[in-house]
Amino acid sequence: MSTRKGVIGILTGGGDVPGLNPAIRAVTIRALREGYQVVGIRHGWLGAISILRDEHADNSEHFQILTEEIVNRAARTGGTFLHTSRTNPSAVKKEEVPEALRATFNQGKNDLTSEVIKNLDWLGIDYLIPIGGDDTLSFATRLSRECVKVVAIPKTMDNDVPGTDYCIGFSTCVSRTIELSNRLRTSAGSHERFLVMEVFGRYAGFTAMLPTMAGAANRCVIPEYKFDMEHLTELLCYDRAHHPSKYSVVIVSEGAMFEGGEMVFSNRTTDAFGHLKLGGIGDLVSAEFKDRSAKYNKGKPIETINQRLGYMVRGGDPDAIDSIVPMAYGNLALDLILHGLHGRLVVLKNGRYDNMPIEVVTSSKKTVNVDKYYNKERLRPLYTDFEMQPLFIMASD
């Protein structure tokens, strides 16, 4: 599979977001024109552990050779045509080990990193470009330590990959949240109710903060600050009483927690990176409103419209920013490769495209700076001086 300059592999891992296909296209078009061959590894790290190192084997489910025709067809659509998974090659459950490897790897948890490296070598891949969030890129960081030439691209609608102000998918998520709020508020106003919208955000509240700052909600509660339910109820009742249409809106991060409480999980199963599945805090908040609101509404409880936005904000086509940034990130990754650089994460910092050591992904955490950006008394974004702030205000400090 050798070519004049070499072979570049690309994969997408973790949750889907709009902007992945434009990033794949940007990498592929530029790489092909620079004389590289591009191999798309399918199903993220799952494809990387599943490849059969036999030229006669059917590996069509695990990788494909990318061409301009293939990537141009998918570039304007959402999701990832290479498909994705939440596989963690360093800790693969026994039942999820590919069949061809089960005789060798038969423990409860199995480290298949060596198989990934062998498979990349068999494919002839000189540089690997993984696109993902902190889980996907944490394994990419390990590969980099083990001498795989990695140039990573940050992707997550939560916008919480450390080291960068922007991750692919975030802008579309914010746009969709604002759009859905504007749709749902017509029903909330018609019935004079509270509107509770639960959004993704396990450890970071950016997906709740930015729509609220843009006017999509009166209040928001985020993982970084445990909130008092009685205080939130009083604030929402105040907002409703002072609104001409007698309704009010709160956005709730899925990782938000009551004072004295913990995260709310939809079930007790974990993904490959050990995360329990979140979901349900919006339901609890809505139920609490019904019990508490009468106290602030002349003895009459207030009904609630409760909507978990979930996949509605991560599906569909990318917006303008999630079409432009992936294009730039893909080309920036190729710039690094053409200069022989690797072990890097492409980033946006203070409005400028740049790159950082990939180790930043695992050496720090990116969350909302509560003291700087969140008003704990008013349970909403803190408005201060906007001069010289980056595009999305809450940058990677």
Domains and CATH numbers, the chain: 6-168+318-363 (3.40.50.450), 171-310+370-381 (3.40.50.460)
Confidence class of residue 389 from pLDDT cuts 50, 70 and 90? confident
Helix axes 229-241, 281-292, angle to 10 degrees: 70
Strands 304-308 and 127-132: unpaired
Between residues 243 and 273, the one the model is more confident about: 243
Sign of the alpha-carbon dihedral angle for 221, 223, 224, 228: positive
pLDDT band at 339 (very low <50, low <70, confident <90, very high): very high
Task: Tell me the two tokens of residue 386.
Answer: 């906007």
Query: Which residues are marked as active site?
Result: 158
pLDDT at position 263, please? 66
**pLDDT tens digits, one per residue of 163-184:** 999 999 999 999 999 999 999 9
Report in angstroms the alpha-carbon separations of 357 from 5, 27, 31: 24, 20, 22
What pLDDT digit, counting tens, does each position of 32-48 carry?
999 999 999 999 999 99
Element of type H or E holding 268: strand 265-270
Strand partners, 354: 347
pLDDT in tens, 234-271: 999 999 999 999 999 999 999 999 998 776 766 555 55
Please calculate the CA angle 70-71-75 and round it to the nearest 5 degrees.
135
pLDDT digits (tens, 9 = 90+) for 183-198: 999 999 999 999 999 9
Q: How much is the pLDDT for 276?
A: 58
Computed over every residue of the chain, the mean pLDDT equals: 94
Give 361-382 pLDDT, tens digit per residue: 999 899 999 999 999 999 999 9
Q: What is the pLDDT of residues 290-316, one digit of tens each?
A: 999 999 999 999 999 999 999 999 999
Whose structure tokens read 């609101």?
293
Express as a percent the part of the chain with pLDDT over 90.
87
pLDDT, residue 1, reads 45
Q: What is the model's pTM?
A: 0.93
Q: Which residues of 286-307 are buried (b: 16+ CB within 10 A; e: fewer)?
A: bebbeebbeebeeeeebebbbb
Q: Which two tokens stand for residue 163?
A: 């080291």
What tens digit of pLDDT does each residue of 126-141 get? 999 999 999 999 999 9
CA-CA-CA-CA torsion sign (54, 58, 62, 63):
positive
For the chain, what is the largest distance between any 2 Cα atoms, rounded to a whole number of angstroms?
A: 77
What are the phi and psi torsion angles at 40 (to 5°)?
A: -90, 115
pLDDT at res. 3 = 46
The whole-number pLDDT of residue 275 equals 54
Q: What's the pLDDT at 383?
A: 86
Q: What is the DSSP letter of 145?
A: H
Rounded Cα distance between 3 and 11, Å, is 20
Name the H helices within 51-130: 68-74, 113-123
